[in-house]
Structure 1
Amino acid sequence: MVLSACNLCIMPLRAEASHRSEMVTQVLFGEPFEILEEGIDFDHIRLLDTSYEGWIQRHQSGQIATQESSRRIIGLTGGKASSTAHTTQLLHGTPVPNDSIQIGNELYTIEGVIREGKLDDFDIEFPKLIQHYNNSPYLWGGRSPYGIDCSGFSQVVYRHFGIGLKRDAWQQAESGDTVDFLPEIKAGDLAFFDNEAGRITHVGIMIDNETIIHAAGRVRIDKMDTEGIFNAQQNKYTHKLRIVKRYF
């Protein structure tokens, strides 16, 4: 398999080969993918870690050598990748299997605080993640503090601890162990919410057994009970609880 990777800080992955098309997710620097179809202005790709497919603009990536799986990522303070021609800022969660990466003809050296994804410091790191992402604007398909959606938020938080999640909320709900009762909820559990048709459309991360952080308009902290998420500002329930899952 020939792999390529994004050579920019972040780039959109679109549903169709058009700048006007919906952004379904974003690709971070160095994230590997397979090109399924080459076009004139856009390429159809499949992300290696989640098998997510979509279209990227050409010339925003380059070929890379086959990469081994790694839990090393850029930490919350960010970093940069520098070649002789370019310097690219790196966002939290950007994968960094090695201290350098060759993308196309350019060899990038990685600088910044590198985190090895692990769970033994969850109690210390989780509050830092809450502070870092709280009040970030909502962006459909977003994966950064400058714009993020609900499942992108749960994905990047879990990546911080070395746990890979699928991209969409309904996909994330297919794994994990069910938490049967709300008093049993622990920090880090994921709560999923469905629409009137019964389809899971939203996810948030539990801070404790009655408080949730999630992306809805912005990344926000709200109360949750058996009925769902209660927005005190709107004085109403905004999301109907479907299930709570545990992954560690």
Structure 2
Amino acid sequence: MEYGISTLSLVPMRAEPADRAEQVSQLLFGECYSILATQGNWLQIELATDQYRGWIDLKQHSPVRQAYFERWKNARHARVLDLVQLVHSGETAIPIGLGAYLPFYDGSSLHINDQTLQFNGRATTHEQQLTADQVVKVGLSMLKAPYQWGGKSVFGVDCSGLVQQVFGVCGYQLPRDAYQQVAVGEEVHFVAQTRPGDLAFFSNAEGRIIHVGLLLENQQILHAHGEVRIDTLDHEGIYQQDRKRYSHQLRIIKRIIPE
């Protein structure tokens, strides 16, 4: 098996090996993957973090050795806290964003294969999980990011991508999609019992989980719906004051971060 790492700020992962295919997710800078199959100029990959699968363009593939991949997979990595920042490789500056991985970061340098790169922005440590208040703070930094199906960045994010990246930056690895995320954590039975950092999940008419958001103070919710926005949550669902209507039907609330 062969392995790779993203050395670009974002790489689209597609449902099929074609540029016109649906974007199902994205690779962030510094994120490792294994290669499952090859079809023409396309690679089917599986992410080391959450085992999510998709197709990427061969031109955007950067190989790593198996030993590096195994070390990467078994380590916890610092994550970028700035909305936009630069990684320097000699004279080249690579733009990266919130949530990008900094493999084997020592406070100033990171390492990809035998290459050493420099980073001087804000980053989490790889040693501890952040508090619920810090999770909320990271989430609020994404406010007004545009909605993008399959997106995982401040320049375009979907509802589950927002939740996964916010928690991931803070040291909590969640699955990629909302229907997978709902299996994590402990149920909170009443909206009045929620705390900042809890997750609310929403279903369609068939009962399928289709949306997720991050709970804030005073029964407000941060979620990606057209943009990353703040609305009100009650026992029925998300109420959008500006549009005078409910946008999502509440199904269940889960607590990821214990007291």
TM-score, structure 1 as length reference? 0.92
For the 8 Å contact 2:139–2:222, the answer to whether it is kept is no
> CA separation in 2, counterparts of 1:124 and 1:199?
30
Which residue does the alignment assign to 2:112?
102
Which residue does the alignment assign to 2:206?
197
In proportion to residue count, which structure has more strand? Answer: 1
Counterpart residue type for residue 33 of structure 2: F
For the 8 Å contact 1:71–1:162, the answer to whether it is kept is no
Counterpart residue type for residue 31 of structure 1: E
Q: How many residues align?
A: 246
**Paired residue secondary structure (2:102):** coil
Residues 246 and 19 (structure 1), Cα distance of their counterparts in 2 relative to 1, 3 Å cut: same
Which residue does the alignment assign to 2:155?
146
> CA separation in 2, counterparts of 1:168 and 1:186?
22
For the 8 Å contact 2:164–2:176, the answer to whether it is kept is yes
Q: Once the two structures are aligned, what percentage of the paired residues are identical?
A: 34
Which residue does the alignment assign to 1:38?
38
Shift of 1:40: 2.1
Which residue does the alignment assign to 2:136?
126
> CA separation in 1, counterparts of 2:208 and 2:131?
34
What do residues 42-85 of structure 1 show as CA deviations (whole Å, max 9, x unaligned)? 10101111110010001212122221321411112543223247
> CA separation in 1, counterparts of 2:132 and 2:197?
9
Which residue does the alignment assign to 1:9?
9
> CA separation in 1, counterparts of 2:76 and 2:154?
23
> CA separation in 2, counterparts of 1:167 and 1:73?
17
> CA separation in 1, counterparts of 2:83 and 2:149?
24
For the 8 Å contact 1:78–1:113, the answer to whether it is kept is no
Shift of 1:157: 1.0
Which residue does the alignment assign to 1:47?
47
For the 8 Å contact 2:42–2:55, the answer to whether it is kept is yes
Superposed, which structure 2 residues align to 1:164-179 within 5 Å?
164-179=173-188
Counterpart residue type for residue 37 of structure 2: E
> CA separation in 1, counterparts of 2:212 and 2:232?
14
**Paired residue secondary structure (1:114):** coil
Residues 124 and 49 (structure 1), Cα distance of their counterparts in 2 relative to 1, 3 Å cut: closer
> CA separation in 2, counterparts of 1:246 and 1:227?
19
Which residue does the alignment assign to 2:86?
80
> CA separation in 2, counterparts of 1:222 and 1:234?
11
**Paired residue secondary structure (2:119):** strand
Counterpart residue type for residue 42 of structure 2: F
Which deviates further from its counterpart, 192-201 or 80-89? 80-89
**Paired residue secondary structure (2:59):** coil
**Gap runs ≥5 in structure 1:** none
Shift of 1:108: 3.3
Residues 82 and 219 (structure 1), Cα distance of their counterparts in 2 relative to 1, 3 Å cut: same
**Paired residue secondary structure (1:113):** coil
Counterpart residue type for residue 133 of structure 2: D
Shift of 1:233: 1.8
